[in-house]
Amino acid sequence: MKTLLILGAGTGGTMVANKMVHELDSREWEIIIVDRDETHYYQPGLLFIPFGIYNPRDVEKPKRDFIPLNVKLILSDIELIEPEKNRVLLSRDKQVINYDYLVIATGSHIHPKETEGLLDGGGWRKNIFDFYSPDGAAELARYLKFWKGGRMVVNVSEMPIKCPVAPLEFLFLADWFFHERGIRDQVEIVYATPLDGAFTKPRAAEVLGGMLEKKGISLEPNFNIGEVDNKKNTIRSWDEREIPYDLLISIPTNMGAEVIKRSGLGDELNFVPIDKHTLQSSAWENIWVIGDAGNAPTSKAGSVAHFMLDVLIDNMLRHMEGLEPLAEFDGHANCFIESGFEQGILIDFNYDVEPLPGKYPLPGLGPFSLLKESPANHWGKMMFRWMYWNILLKGGEMPFESQMTMAGKWQ
């Protein structure tokens, strides 16, 4: 018997398990997937929890429900990957798993420790919160419910972060939420980002920056946080700029899993170096990487993991047959951006083409307006949760093509 071992049963790993189970002959192959956590979190839903739109239960389901019966799910911490021995060590019962092929899908996670004073200065979960973790989002919801207002600063510690539009969505929703609560005039909203504008790509940065302005949200660009001063309630940049806050919403440094570092497989942020077009590990032929865990220079997003899926599966199957992998992944990303007041924006881009305005053709559902607010984009975003649980995770056909298309885009 041969073994396909998948590390991580989040968005990417679950999809790979569901696809591979149909591709590999079960008389020849055993498929094993390992994750430490028995709960699957629908992470895009974390955005809505602080504002009471979703509650924590709305984004949780048991992982087991999404893993096919003939795939073996092991709940355990992954301790070490030893690529030169083709094996992985688990904490649980000190198991050792030998593999023929390995898929790394261990994602990326927040590391508030990386910023001085963020986690250990006394304000964490008192007037400093994150919404990138399930418990952070839930605690923030409790806090915002009774907050009387003041100066709210949203700060991104360091790029890259997963779902780079989420901080903007948070700002737009906060503006809406404080309106609804009738205290918008009591709240000052500030966005402090290391980027030189609202977003990484120029056309989108312009549109999104304009929206911040229209909503009365002030932008502090090129802000690279050095420390949080919990006594003065101030964040300070490396070049000594200070921004005072009453409430600090932090998107801490995002890094790949610790096990990647321990195993010597990562770059300086514990992301695994890969060929950005084939998704094969740069160092090991039989290791493949999907989703946030790799260092492909595109957004870290569930939609991207989905667009990677077909290329990854094809290339692994080709490799098993002794064929060269195809360089087919183009960095395709597409994100619905919730913009408050039941409106949304859609952006669609890849390694070479930045988000452009136009229409996104979607048979049966669309078209959706690109880079422009519309109610349909809001409903697209809300519908995404259903599609995520029911289609995407199961490796089903989504109405989006893996490779980006220029159809409908205005240049």
Ligand X SMILES: Cc1cc2nc3c(=O)[nH]c(=O)nc-3n(C[C@H](O)[C@H](O)[C@H](O)COP(=O)(O)OP(=O)(O)OC[C@H]3O[C@@H](n4cnc5c(N)ncnc54)[C@H](O)[C@@H]3O)c2cc1C
Cα–Cα distance for residue pair 154/190, rounded to 1 Å: 6
Contact of residue 305 among ligand X, another protein, none (CB under 5-8 Å per partner type): ligand X
Contact of residue 239 among ligand X, another protein, none (CB under 5-8 Å per partner type): another protein
Please pick, from the candidates 195, 219, 327, 353, the single residue that binds another protein as defined by CB under 8 A. Answer: 195
CB-CB contact of 286 with 317 (8 Å): no
- Note whether 385 binds ligand X by CB under 6 A: no
Please pick, from the candidates 46, 97, 153, 187, the single residue that binds ligand X as defined by CB under 6 A. Answer: 46
Strands 242-244 and 234-237: antiparallel
- Note whether 108 binds another protein by CB under 8 A: no
From the list 19-27, 139-147, 261-269, 335-343, the region that binds another protein by CB under 8 A is 261-269
Contact of residue 238 among another protein, ligand X, none (CB under 5-8 Å per partner type): another protein
**DSSP 3-state of 377:** helix
Eight-state DSSP code of residue 323? P
Q: Which is nearer to ligand X, 67 or 230 (CB)?
A: 67
- Note whether 238 binds another protein by CB under 8 A: yes
Cα–Cα distance for residue pair 38/263, rounded to 1 Å: 24
Contact of residue 117 among ligand X, another protein, none (CB under 5-8 Å per partner type): none
Cα–Cα distance for residue pair 119/122, rounded to 1 Å: 7
Q: Which is nearer to ligand X, 106 or 280 (CB)?
A: 106
- Note whether 249 binds ligand X by CB under 6 A: no
Contact positions with ligand X (CB under 6 A) in 160-219: 162-163, 166
Please pick, from the candidates 25, 28, 57, 297, the single residue that binds another protein as defined by CB under 8 A. Answer: 297
Contact positions with ligand X (CB under 6 A) in 255-274: 257, 259
Please pick, from the candidates 26, 70, 98, 222, the single residue that binds another protein as defined by CB under 8 A. Answer: 222
- Note whether 267 binds another protein by CB under 8 A: yes
- Helix or strand (DSSP H, E) at 305: helix 302-320
Contact of residue 257 among ligand X, another protein, none (CB under 5-8 Å per partner type): ligand X
Residues 6+ apart with CB under 8 A from 179: none
- Note whether 78 binds ligand X by CB under 6 A: yes
Cα–Cα distance for residue pair 377/75, rounded to 1 Å: 37
Nearest distance, CB of residue 257 and ligand X, angstroms: 4
- Dump the DSSP string for 234-285: EEEETT--EEE-SEEEEEPPEEE-HHHHHTT---TTSPBPB-TTT-BBSS-T
- Note whether 312 binds ligand X by CB under 6 A: no
Tokens representing 390 are 């029911």
Cα–Cα distance for residue pair 265/235, rounded to 1 Å: 33
Residue indicated by tokens 């360089």: 327
Output helix, strand, coil percentages for the chain, rounded to the nearest 5: 30, 30, 40
- Note whether 302 binds ligand X by CB under 6 A: yes
Binding string, residues 114-143; x marks residues near ligand X by CB under 6 A: -----------------xx-----------
CB-CB contact of 95 with 74 (8 Å): yes
The count of chain residues that interact with ligand X, using the rule CB under 6 A, is 35
Residue indicated by tokens 């600090």: 248
- Helix or strand (DSSP H, E) at 180: helix 166-180
Q: Which is nearer to ligand X, 77 or 206 (CB)?
A: 77
Contact of residue 298 among another protein, ligand X, none (CB under 5-8 Å per partner type): another protein
* Largest Cα–Cα separation, the chain: 66
For residue 258, give the nearest of 300, 293, 297, 295 by alpha carbon: 293
Eight-state DSSP code of residue 159? S
Strands 108-110 and 101-104: unpaired
- Note whether 160 binds another protein by CB under 8 A: yes
Nearest distance, CB of residue 234 and ligand X, angstroms: 25
Interface residues with another protein (CB under 8 A) are 158-160, 164, 195, 200, 222, 224, 226, 238-239, 267-269, 297-299
Interface residues with ligand X (CB under 6 A) are 8-13, 34-37, 43-44, 46-47, 77-78, 105-107, 131-132, 162-163, 166, 257, 259, 291-293, 300-303, 305, 335
